[in-house]
């Protein structure tokens, strides 16, 4: 499947734009700050319900406006699908985000992800290695969602239970057993699904990480609790600590991907450029796994892909992306950029206005 049409309204500096894409490579070029990355954000928003640049969707809304809206048409088998995401400016800073699929509101953005799988790589890719475990869990869970039946439902039920348990802890209530059973059941199912997918990803990671980084980086999953006991027992053992801290301190919401070199955390020893290469390798191994073993071809969004990559590694990266045989949308400064051959479609972005050339 691929993105065929995209309409943006009040998204960052773009007041209104309509774009049509082919199934191959699209180039979007323009000066810094012109709005080209905002188009990538819009495409990502359709499949993820959020931006890859900010935690708060409300920041996507054009200055002085009450909402931002993105609508897209995806070519899918057997019929095309229409997706929409609207971000509203609310009284609180978080605002609100509404997703729609074929005209109907969706209860979960997982519905959008099913209809339009999309992955992004941008100059801040190093944050996947450098920053908190949240990014790495999200990276893994996106692949798990696509290949493990029932994972999305497990995730929703677990998040609901942990939210209720944390509310009870903040309120000073002592009875936690009512939530612990559901947390243990759903959390252990989540952890097993994650472990299965990470094991399947591992050979792809070893191959691509070695090719791009030339470093022996190990990749393991820390499940979020001591695996020598069940999650139910771990919750019981941590109950007093949880009451003291007023939050649930064990469970898959505390899981993390552990990337190490010679026993040391990768983020502590890798340079910024090396961290970006490791993050790119993570994304590529995920995409190749989904293609080879599950026949999934996500749309790939690339923002200034040549940044911080030397000629040799850029060539390896291009070869890997080309081999995915998927829709690629590239944002770059220069129209003459031909990293992935002659683009099928070209757009020029200038001061928030989009022109097909």
Please tell me whether residues 155 and 236 are part of one structural domain: yes
Please tell me whether residues 85 and 165 are part of one structural domain: no
Please tell me whether residues 18 and 109 are part of one structural domain: yes
Please tell me whether residues 236 and 168 are part of one structural domain: yes
Please tell me whether residues 110 and 185 are part of one structural domain: no
Domain boundary among 256, 273, 294: 294
Domain boundary among 252, 270, 294: 294
Domain boundary among 267, 294, 321: 294
Q: Is the pLDDT of residue 339 over 90?
A: no
pLDDT tier for residue 309 given thresholds of 50, 70 and 90 = confident
Query: Which pLDDT value is given to residue 145?
Result: 95
Instruction: Write down the mean pLDDT value for the chain.
Output: 93
Number of domains in the chain: 2
Listed in order, strand segments (DSSP E) in the chain are 2-11, 14-20, 25-29, 67-75, 81-88, 96-101, 104-105, 118-121, 218-222, 256-261, 264-265, 299-303, 328-332, 345-350, 353-356
Please tell me whether residues 62 and 94 are part of one structural domain: yes
Please tell me whether residues 71 and 214 are part of one structural domain: no
User: Which residues are CB-contacts of 79 (< 8 A; sequence separation ≥ 6)?
Assistant: none
Please tell me whether residues 34 and 165 are part of one structural domain: no
Q: What is the domain-level CATH number for residue 343? A: 3.40.50.300
Query: pTM for the whole thing?
Result: 0.93
66-104 tens-digit pLDDT: 999 999 999 987 889 999 999 998 755 456 999 999 999
Domain range for 277 = 125-294
Please tell me whether residues 133 and 280 are part of one structural domain: yes
241-273 tens-digit pLDDT: 999 999 999 999 999 999 999 999 999 999 998
Please tell me whether residues 316 and 285 are part of one structural domain: no
192-226 tens-digit pLDDT: 999 999 999 999 999 999 999 999 999 999 999 99
**Residue 4 three-state SS:** strand
Q: Is the pLDDT of residue 235 over 70?
A: yes
Please tell me whether residues 220 and 354 are part of one structural domain: no
């Amino acid at each position: 499947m691929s993105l065929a049409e995209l309409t943006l309204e009040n998204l960052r500096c773009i007041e209104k734009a309509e774009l049509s894409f082919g199934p191959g490579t699209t180039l979007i070029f323009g000066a810094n700050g012109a709005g080209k990355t905002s188009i990538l954000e819009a495409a990502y928003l359709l499949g993820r319900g959020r931006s890859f640049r900010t935690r708060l969707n409300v920041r996507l809304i054009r200055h002085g406006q009450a909402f931002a809206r993105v609508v897209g048409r995806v070519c899918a088998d057997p019929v095309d699908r229409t997706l929409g995401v609207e971000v509203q400016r609310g009284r609180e800073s978080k605002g609100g985000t509404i997703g729609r699929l074929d005209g109907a509101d969706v209860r979960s953005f997982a519905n959008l992800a099913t209809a339009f799988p999309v992955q992004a790589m941008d100059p801040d890719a190093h944050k996947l290695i450098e920053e908190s475990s949240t990014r790495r869990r999200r990276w893994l869970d996106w692949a798990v969602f696509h290949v493990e039946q029932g994972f999305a439902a497990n995730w929703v039920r677990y998040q609901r239970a942990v939210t209720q348990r944390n509310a009870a802890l903040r309120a000073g209530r002592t009875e936690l057993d009512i939530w612990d059973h559901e947390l243990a059941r759903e959390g252990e199912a989540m952890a097993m699904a994650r472990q299965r997918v990470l094991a399947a990803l591992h050979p792809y990671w070893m191959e691509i990480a070695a090719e791009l980084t030339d470093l022996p980086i190990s990749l393991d999953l820390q499940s979020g609790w001591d695996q020598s006991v069940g999650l139910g027992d771990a919750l019981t053992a941590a109950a007093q600590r949880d009451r003291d801290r007023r939050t649930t301190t064990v469970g898959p919401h505390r899981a993390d991907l552990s990337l190490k070199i010679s026993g040391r955390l990768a983020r502590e020893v890798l340079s910024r450029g090396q961290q970006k290469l490791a993050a790119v390798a993570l994304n590529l191994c995920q995409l190749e796994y989904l293609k080879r073993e599950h026949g999934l071809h996500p749309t790939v969004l690339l923002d200034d892909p040549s940044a911080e990559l030397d000629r040799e590694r850029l060539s390896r990266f291009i070869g890997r992306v080309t081999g995915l045989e998927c829709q690629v949308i590239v944002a770059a400064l220069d129209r003459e950029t031909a990293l992935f051959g002659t683009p099928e479609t070209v757009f020029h972005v200038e001061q928030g206005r989009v022109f097909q050339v």
